[in-house]
A and B are shown apart, each in its own frame.
Chain A
Amino acid sequence: GENVGLHLPTLSVQEGDNSIINCAYSNSASDYFIWYKQESGKGPQFIIDIRSNMDKRQGQRVTVLLNKTVKHLSLQIAATQPGDSAVYFCADISGGSYIPTFGRGTSLIVHP
């Protein structure tokens, strides 16, 4: 399958700022996208998902935007806190495989 990639490996922000983590995908058949958060030494945790029939979905302090025209996905974190420091992965699933493919991840560093 095709890989999901990320634009930036590391993102540093100040506490209280908004963070935007980007993800590019290449599989036009992908129809479901997920963001995971991985804290140091732990397994990834589900944050939020979005289906290809939507272009925006909001959770608690997080928003995922999907632009199918340019095959781009972003995760926005409002009022970033030190506890948000982690590696963030996007993953996609295409209808044919049902197996998520993960990108490399972006390390978010939040400075107090």
Chain B
Amino acid sequence: DGGITQSPKYLFRKEGQNVTLSCEQNLNHDAMYWYRQDPGQGLRLIYYSQIVNDFQKGDIAEGYSVSREKKESFPLTVTSAQKNPTAFYLCASSIDPIGEKLFFGSGTQLSVL
């Protein structure tokens, strides 16, 4: 089955630690996105990539980094510079760089120990 897979489902971060969230898609989609969701809030864009080997900052990129070395993979690193990382992280993809009809993964809940 085609889809978008995020792992792990739950992740804990210690102070000063970098952690990486995985996002893989086998939909052959060009574009991929990372959103952050806080309780009772909408989705805020962290980074997006419209094509392999290229990515752009979203509205809240500080403290995060990404790479897009392969079309199917778009990992997100939450660095120690992100002082409030506890949130639900959602990865999404779209068939082309125009972000119509996003397909979302099931999310990763990141918490700070």
Contact = CB atoms under 8 A, between A and B. Distances in A.
Interface in B79-113: 90, 92, 97-107
Interface stretch (A58-66, A77-85, A102-110): A102-110
B40 A49 contact: no
Contacts, number: 55
A3 to B, nearest CB: 8
B97 A46 contact: no
A25 interface: no
Contact of A43 (B40, B90, B97, B99): B90
A105 B105 contact: no
Contacts of A105: 41-42
A46 B102 contact: yes
A36 B103 CA distance: 10
Interface string A87-103: 00100010000111111
A89 B35 CA distance: 14
Given A102-B42, A104-B41, A104-B42, A42 B107 contact: yes
A98 B96 CA distance: 10
A98 B102 CA distance: 12
A112 interface: no
Contacts of B103: 46
B48 interface: yes
Nearest to A43: B104
Interface of A: 9, 32, 34, 36, 41-46, 49, 89, 93, 98-105
CB-CB nearest 5 A-B residue pairs:
A43-B104, A102-B43, A102-B42, A104-B42, A98-B98
